[in-house]
Structure 1
Amino acid sequence: MTRLFLALLLGAAALPALAIDESDLLPIEEAFALSASAPSADRVEFRWAIADGYYLYRHRTRVQAEDGFAIVGEPALPDGVRHVDEFFGEVETYRGTLVATVAGTPAAGARSARFRVSYQGCADIGICYPPHTETVEVALPAAPAAAVDGRAALDAVFGRAAGGPLAGLDGDAADLPMAPERAFRFEAIAGGADTLLLRFTPAPGYYLYRDRAAFRLIDAEGLALGAPAWPEGSAHRDEYFGDVVVYFDEVEVALPLAREIGPARTVRLEATFQGCQTDGICYPPMTRTVEVALPAADSASVAGAADGGPVRETPPPARAAMPWWAALLFALGGGLILNLMPCVLPVLSLKAISLAQSGQGRGAARARALWYTAGVLVAFAALGAVALALREAGMALGWGFQLQQPLVVAALAYVMFALGLSLSGVFSVGTRLAGVGDALTRRTGPAGDFFTGVLAVVVASPCTAPFMGAALTFAFAAPPALAMLVFLALGLGLALPFLLIAFVPALAAHLPRPGPWMETLKQVMAFPLYATAAWLAWVLTSQRGADATAWLLAGALLLAFGLWLAERLRHRERPVLRTAALLIALAAAWPLWRVHGLPAPERGLAQPTRADGAIPYSASALEALRRDGRTVFVNMTADWCMTCKANERRVLDTAAFRAALARAGAVYMVGDWTNVDPEITAFLEAHGAVGVPLYVVLHPEHGDRVLPTVLTQSQVEAALAGGAP
């Protein structure tokens, strides 16, 4: 019956796709006809002619220079039309025409440039193309003589060469452009083990763009740069870039540096920036490389704190920053701690009943523990493989991604509700669907223990325990084979307590003896399962509104009635039983499909604050606050994240937290990842996280600070005050 139930669900999910004729689709090159041109030597435009009935995703549009051109910054894209997408959540799309502009510097003497352009789009008939990449060759016009980088070239143009009419005159005296090295001085020193201090000095009559700067480290393994902390600049209306922020005077910028504990070393920093002469020429982007001597880094100056320790700077180092063996140890410890998280409680109650009933001898107990472990490992491996494959395909997702799908949430609510009915005695054995629940509570062999392990992983996956976040971050960046080892280590940690009880006689001796009390325990343990089903219904309301909850309750009512009826008919003629079981599956599957088809409710994007005074997260709002020099406490959460809700109840929803915000003059910003949200996913990735919860304090003077997964009030207050222990 279980197989039939799942087959009906999958078949229903496939019906819309089967109704679509893919032969109606245009080839991708015709649906999204791409052309490119260079209006000037430092600007290239890419134009898509989008056929009627087709649209492009903004966040899936990328341009990379392959030869003959160095891009500075990100491609300039117009605002798209907001669209709630089944796969990517809330996105922006383009129809008709899209023009993307990139700015940069042509290679010396280059007459053409080659670019790698990636994009993805869909047809209105319900089919999306896979990500597509084209290589585009663009002819470049000659650069204006006054914009050529280099002192000798400028001197030649303006007559400063020996014997020329302006020989011996300073650029200011002649009111002509200076050489770039004189117009814009750049220096960098170490501001400590984890900070670089940058200084830009525009000459009088020149200004520097804030948002045309980029920085990278050259051959610096184990190091990573954070976001530069620019001071407040001057608003300026620019004929090239519109409304921008510029600096007319010397400016100092703190650049956070994430690194491992280690000795002193010298690093090479490459800075690319752009500026202009007031009422004169604008220089092309210029690149300077400097060497910086870093002092030794000890445990007090780099990331790391566990509970009660100092918070760590972000973003974290590159993937090589953590050795593979450390990632496996972190995964094992995180899986072990996962047993203490509230999301795992319902399944642990099932396992507690199993242990209480295990008066079968040591061999049988070991077999049951091994089958449970096998279920946990298989489920972790499958979940990890799906997550890695979808991320590789370009999906914006992270750990716990499956609960961002309403169909999964509704189906899991059914499972928890049905298991609760089984423990309450509404049904037992008789149909295959009933047998699954009964196998979890009776001594019926390996199938029930294996399924309990699978269910433990499904329910536990939204939680992120201490140590687990670092291990998952490593796994999502590691090669597939090593990533799978990390997922298996997580599973081994989750199953470890039951393995120890089964294989260590001293621990097993402390278990209570079987007796009549077990029936009462079994019935009591049904209520955590009912509570989990109710919580999942609340999550579904957040994802798809009250109509989804109504469909879920109707389906649960039909499921309960059908299971009860199947139990009543269990000893009668088999055809009646089979017909009743089939009707149960059909009746329960239809509400699930209705839930899947409901649109996401509007999230009130125009509302400036939430009921608790927090500002809803958006990348543009956060950037505006940072430009204003504000301290921001960012809370990335989700309704299905039990760890998030526990932290909010104990720390973030308290008067003490609000008082700490007020003392620091900080803004509280909350990102809701209950549904798929590419902007939030990008923030998580930028701070080395693959799921929620994530807590980051962005301080204008002390950089970004990431707090531990399990919060304490003292950690929050220390981070808001600037990171003091």
Structure 2
Amino acid sequence: MRLIRPGRLAARFSALLGLCLTLLVIAPAMAQDDLDGLLPVTEAYKLSADASTPGVVKLHWTIAPDYYLYRGRMKFKAGEGVTLGEAQLPDGEKHHDEYLGDVETYHHGIDATVPYTLASGATRLKLTVQYQGCHEVDPKICYPPHTEQLDLALPTGPAQAGPSLGAALGKLGSSRAGEGAALPAEQAFQFEALAKDRQHLLLRWNMPKGYYLYRDQTTLRLKDAGDLTLGEPAWPAGVAHDDAHFGQTTVFFDQVELPVAIHGDTTGRQSVTLEASFQGCQDGGLCYPVMTRTLTVDLGGAAPVVGPSAAPAPETPPASATSRSPRIGLLSALLLALAGGLVLNLMPCVLPVLAIKAVGLLESGESHARARAHALSYSAGVLSSFALIGIVILVLRSAGQAMGWGAQLQQPLVVGVLACVMVAVGLSMSGVVQFGASLGNVGQSLASRSGHAGHFFTGVLAVVVASPCTAPFMGSALVYAFAAPMLYALLVLLMLGVGLALPFLLVAFVPALARLLPRPGAWMETLKQVLAFPMYLTAAWLVWVLAHQRGADAVGLVLVAAVMLAATLWWFERSRTRGVASKLAVAVLAVLTALPLYQLGQLPPPAQTATVAEGVVAFSPEKLAELRKAGVPVFVDMTADWCVTCKANEHAVLDTEAFRELLRKTGAVYMKGDWTDVNPTIAAFLQQYNSPGVPLYVVFPKGGGEGHMLPTVLTSSMVEEALTKAAGTPVASNP
């Protein structure tokens, strides 16, 4: 292999002559030290190819550090029996080269796709790939053009046999395809866009049955839009798919709606031009090359702009989908969040933390200063936790993911760790181990770091255990926060934290309320030990949730972790007055506590089995559509084992004989969806109805039409009224 070093003289000639002269004249005189460490061309630019997708070959170059490739020096030549289409290369880094003029270069790596068609009877794909690059560290060394011959096996499947892809699609352009045949791209992937308002677009893909769209192969941009840019798309939950080329990826069947925000001032603009590139496949058949559609979207109205050969736009989401979240402003959302945080203090899931705070306030009863410091540290923990939740939600939303209220409890590791935390808090209150200031030192100042830290993390714990609950007023505020701009979303979540912390702030800062508290004394130690038992019960509830998520093995692991945690804390208390070896034993026990929790995170979900009760239909979109088509009223209940509000509603209303009698009287079907574990189908249904989490209750009338959402906290009269109205029967009047 001969290499060239560019010189000043070459700049006076054309690109090709310059490269040739430096190759012939300068290369023989190059010093050996200039070549030390220079990689062979096939190691500097490692080329791999994949022809597993019919109709397109995918090329990837892995480029070594300090090397780059020229975009304009890439050439592709078809072998025998192969016809190549136009190669699709990404934009490179633009700069001026002293020999080639204005060029684009690639660093680190590049993916390219080349569509192709095959002659009848072809069994292999042969093509020639040529490329050229340079080593950019001084002295700059450029390789001569390098050529590689590719001979690739073809995938098996419907797309290989018979005519080429282009011919097949051409024949289908004027007639409907037979069963199993591939539709033209315009029919297989109907694409449209509309303006929800001047700053928000809604994109929609409609696909026939058996076709799917890749989420991660979709790119969107505005053309000739000046300072306007698109925000991160808010992708709904899709279907996990193990793809031959892309590996584990996410795809969408049937229909997908994608909200996208426009960043920038749209004042004075009547429309924007959207360019969308995407790729999809026929399930079990061929995969289409990347498609690019350009649409002009009217910003003055909501009428959709439909692409070529697209069907009429489907109905917009049901108006009742926003019944839980009317179009409220920021002030209304803040007031609702404040009220929801206040009510959250009364929910059963927050009871264990209220127990801790009750003891803390009694401890500080002799000093207003201590009470204020206590309440402020606790409030700081609450507000910091809500701020962190807001940041996580915004990060996930910008990455195209979704997060529901309380959805962290879908992760078995989180549930297991939280159960151990509740055990640790209970053991502390039982006197096995002491964290921070003890109850006996009532007169001692709590201004130390440990005292403030204890109150702060009590606030953090309050938010964690409150997440399984959805209080009245919270629904609309959370929906607003989960879709609002970043600053507004953080303000709403922080106001929810203010509501949660407000009762303790009032007691600490209003002397009249503080005087209502009993005087501290020795009886508080007994109270503290009694209040440990709600902590143990909460841990038991979390283990029950874990059993539903991962089965008996998960229960065994978390129980072992709890026992090891108890041993760790017991020995930690004894090691306070002992030497280094005793403290080292604490560290060993802590590691032994973490091991079963690590194994818990590795457990796979159990096999899916129908576990719904008698007379209850498991939720599926197909079954719901079938029942609605048959004219049957349907009561849909989206629930989860970790959702305390859901369980309270079931106990009070849905698991009663009166509710079952109401179902019989109205002829309604009770359909239940379980969101205890991650379930993209249920997540998509929640998103369809703008619900931030569970519970979600939707009643569908028997004559068709929109579903009616119910509040998160149910009453028997409310459910009876909704079902009788859905069934078209008169509502019985109360005497």
Q: TM-score range by the shorter chain?
A: 0.5 to 0.7
SS in 2 for 1:315: helix
Tell me, in whole angstroms, the C-alpha distance in 2 between the residues paired with 1:332 and 1:480.
19
- Structure 1 CA distance, aligned partners of 2:467 and 2:541? 15
Give how far 1:395 is off: 2.3
Deviations 1:168-211 (A, max 9, x none): xxxxxxxxxxxxxxxxxxxxxxxxxxxxxxxxxxxxxxxxxxxx
Residue 617 of structure 1 deviates from its aligned partner by: 1.1
Write out aligned runs for 1:560-599 (5 A): 560-573=566-579, 575-599=580-604
Partner Cα distance (1:43, 1:494) in 2: 63
- Partner SS for 2:469: coil
- Following superposition, the deviation at residue 388 of structure 1 comes to 2.5
Q: Which residue of 2 aligns with 1:703?
A: 706
Structure 1 Cα separation of the partners of residues 190 and 679 of structure 2? 22
Comparing 450-459 with 703-712, which one deviates more in the overlay?
703-712
Letter in 1 for 2:206: E
Tell whether 2:285 aligns with 1:136: no
Shift of 1:679: 1.1
Alpha-carbon distance in 1 for matches of 2:174, 2:381: 58
Q: In 2, distance between residues paired with 1:470 and 1:440?
A: 45
1:464 — aligned with what?
Answer: 470
2:641 corresponding residue in structure 1: 639
**Would you say the 8 A contact 1:397–1:676 is kept in 2?**
no
Structure 2 partner of 1:481: 487
Alignment check: 8 A CA contact 2:364 2:371 kept: yes
1:42-91, Cα deviation, whole Å (9 max, x unpaired):
9999xxxxxxxxxxxxxxx9984589xx99862236389xxxxxxx9994
Question: Is this contact kept in 2: 1:114–1:135, CA < 8 A?
Answer: no
| Match of residue 117 from structure 1 | 278
Gaps of 5+ in 1: 1-22, 46-60, 81-87, 104-112, 121-133, 140-215, 221-267, 275-282, 290-311, 430-434
2:389 pairs, out of 361, 383, 394, with 383
Q: Measure, in 2, the Cα distance between the counterparts of 1:513 and 1:553.
A: 39
Change (3 A) 1:365 1:436: closer
Deviates more, 1:684-693 or 1:696-705: 696-705
Q: Partner residue of 2:719?
A: 716
Distance of 1:440 and 1:407 partners within structure 2: 37
CA distance in 2, matches of 1:25, 1:533: 52
Distance 1:717 1:459 in 2: 32
Letter in 1 for 2:291: V
1:529 to 531, 535, 545: 535
Deviations 1:393-422 (A, max 9, x none): 122431112111111110001100011011
- RMSD of the TM alignment (CA)? 4.3
Aligned positions, number:
497
Amino acid at match of 2:706: G
CA distance, structure 1, for counterparts of residue 674 and residue 482 of structure 2: 22
8 Å contact from structure 1 (residues 44, 101) kept in 2: no
Distance 1:24 1:676 in 2: 38
CA distance in 2, matches of 1:65, 1:413: 48
Structure 2 contact 640–674 (Cα < 8 Å) conserved:
yes
Cα distance in 2 between the residues matched to 1:692 and 1:324: 23
The structural deviation recorded for 1:676 is 1.1
- Which position in structure 2 is the counterpart of 1:371? 377
Q: In the TM superposition, what is the alpha-carbon distance from 1:313 to its structure 2 partner?
A: 6.1
Considering Cα pairs closer than 8 Å and 6+ residues apart, tell me whether 1 or 2 has the greater RCO. 1
Q: Assess, with a 3 A threshold, how the Cα gap between structure 1 residues 339 and 26 changes in structure 2: closer, same or farther.
A: farther
**Alignment identity in percent?**
47
In the superposition, the TM-score normalised over structure 1's length comes to 0.61
Q: 1:510 to 1:412 in 2, by over 3 A?
A: same
Q: CA deviation at 1:368?
A: 1.2
Is 2:407 the partner of 1:401? yes
Structure 1 counterpart of 2:645, one-letter code: T
Q: Mapping of 1:1-150 within 5 angstroms?
A: 39=170, 64=191, 74-76=206-208, 78=210, 91-96=239-244, 115-117=276-278, 136-137=291-292
SS of corresponding position for 1:696 = strand
- Could you tell me which of 679, 692, 695 is aligned with 1:693? 695
Aligned partners of 1:370, 1:570: CA distance in 2, in Å? 30
Residues 203-237 of structure 1, C-alpha deviations (whole Å, 9 max, x = no match): xxxxxxxxxxxxx99967xxxxxxxxxxxxxxxxx
User: Secondary structure of 1:706's match?
Assistant: strand
Give the match for residue 426 of structure 2: 420
Is the 2:637–2:671 Cα contact (8 Å) retained in structure 1? yes
Distance in 1 between residues matched to 2:508 and 2:709, nearest whole Å = 39
Return the offset for 1:317. Answer: 7.2
The normalised TM-score by structure 2 is: 0.60
What is the deviation of 1:314? 1.2
The equivalent residue for 1:662 is 664
Separation in structure 1 between the aligned mates of residue 720 and residue 620 of structure 2, nearest angstrom: 24
Larger Rg: 2
Contact kept? 2:406, 2:693, Cα under 8 Å: yes
Aligned to 1:344: 350
Cα shift at 1:521: 0.5
Tell me if the contact between 1:89 and 1:675 (Cα under 8 Å) persists in the aligned partners: no
The letter for the 2-side match of 1:95 is D
Between the aligned partners of 2:671 and 2:366, the Cα distance in structure 1 is 54
**Deviation string for 1:350-386 (max 9, x for gaps)?**
0010011113421221121111111100001101211
* 1:308 corresponding residue in structure 2: none
CA contact (8 A) 1:661 1:667 kept: yes
Q: Is the 8 A contact 2:193 2:203 kept in 1?
A: no
Deviation at 1:658, TM superposition (A): 0.4
Q: 1:411 matched to which residue of 2? A: 417
Deviation at 1:705, TM superposition (A): 1.1
1:439-450 equivalence runs, <5 A: 443=446, 445-450=451-456
Q: Match of 2:432, as an amino acid?
A: V
Does 1:651 find its partner at 2:656? no
Q: Is the 8 A contact 1:63 1:118 kept in 2?
A: no
Letter in 2 for 1:667: V
SS of alignment partner, residue 677 of structure 2: coil
2:680 maps to which residue?
678
The residue that corresponds to 1:357 in the other structure is: 363
Sort the Cα spacing of 1:72 and 1:648 in 2 relative to 1 into closer, same or farther, 3 A. Answer: closer
- Partner letter of residue 644 of structure 1? C
Tell me: CA distance 1:89–1:402, structure 2 relative to 1, closer, same or farther (3 Å). Answer: same
Distance 1:676 1:217, change over 3 A: farther
Aligned match of 2:497: 491
CA distance in 2, matches of 1:472, 1:706: 16
AA paired with 1:710?
V
What amino acid maps onto 1:721 in structure 2?
T
Which moves more between the two structures, 631-640 or 392-401? 392-401
Task: Give the match for residue 551 of structure 2.
Answer: 545
Letter in 1 for 2:658: A
The 3 A distance-change label for structure 1 pair 71 and 497 is: closer
Q: For 2:559 and 2:636, how far apart are their aligned partners in 1?
A: 35
1:601 aligns to what?
606
Aligned partners of 1:373 and 1:72: how far apart in 2?
44
Distance 1:562 1:288 in 2: 60
Kept in 1, the 8 Å contact 2:337–2:492? The answer is yes
Question: Where do 1:85-234 residues align within 5 Å?
Answer: 91-96=239-244, 115-117=276-278, 136-137=291-292
User: Quick check: 339-348 or 33-42, which moved more?
Assistant: 33-42
SS at match of 1:321: coil
Please identify, of 36-45 and 640-649, the stretch whose mean Cα deviation from structure 2 is larger. Answer: 36-45
How many Å apart are 1:29 and its aligned residue? 6.8
Q: Give, as a single letter, the amino acid of the residue that structure 2 aligns with 1:74.
A: N
Structure 2 portions without partners, runs of 5+: 1-45, 51-57, 61-110, 116-164, 178-187, 195-201, 213-235, 256-273, 282-288
Which residue identity does 2:371 align to in structure 1? A
Aligned CA distance change for structure 1 residues 361 and 551 (closer, same or farther; 3 Å): same
Contact 1:272 1:288 in 2 (8 A): no
User: What one-letter code is carried by the residue in structure 2 that aligns with 1:703?
Assistant: E
